Amino acid sequence: MSDPYQPYQPYSQPGQQAAPQAGGPSPQGYAQPGHAPADEAPGYPQAGYPQPGHPQAGYPQGAYPQGAYPQGGYAYGYPPEDPGKAMGIVGFVMAFLFAPAGIVLSAIGRSQSRRAGFPNPLATWGLWLSIVFTAVSVLYVLFFVVLLGFGLFGAATYGDYSSALTV
């Protein structure tokens, strides 16, 4: 068995003990004062660096392949939430309670969702229902204003104001 403190001698014959070279470590494994360490001994390559033209042992030195891991996206946690979702729900509810406010809130919710790239069918439904309910309400109020106007106009032409006030 060879001495573990001796440097590796690639050209020595098996069973031969290599004599310590000048500047090499002493048989005890320690460098003598005033001598260079074994790594810098003439004729030997510097430790840790391969000689030119010879591949280094171990893992191949190359770049990692691209696409080994998914790029971007949301790998962990919850998926992103629609920023206009809550406003769309409030706009849909307001379409039944107070339609003009439903128009505004549904339009805001739909706009926020479209900007973020999400479909928001509830905001779209709230917007259309609010427009329809507002139009129906305006026509309803207009109908009674016109009916009341014709009633007052008809009573004024006949001169009987008391019947115009009692509908």
Residue 68 has a pLDDT of 56
Give the chain's mean pLDDT: 75
Neighbours of 55 (CB within 10 A): 9
Residue 44 has a pLDDT of 56
Contact assessment for residue 110 and residue 95, using Cβ atoms and an 8 Å cutoff: no
pLDDT tens-digit map of 94-127: 999 999 999 999 999 999 999 999 999 999 999 9
For 111, residues 6+ apart whose C-beta sits below 8 A from its C-beta are 84
Residue 15 has a pLDDT of 58
Answering whether pTM is above 0.85, one says no
Q: Return averaged pLDDT per consecutive 10 residues of the chain, 167 residues in all.
A: 66 56 53 55 57 61 57 71 95 97 97 95 97 97 90 66 56
For 5, residues 6+ apart whose C-beta sits below 8 A from its C-beta are 25, 27, 28, 29
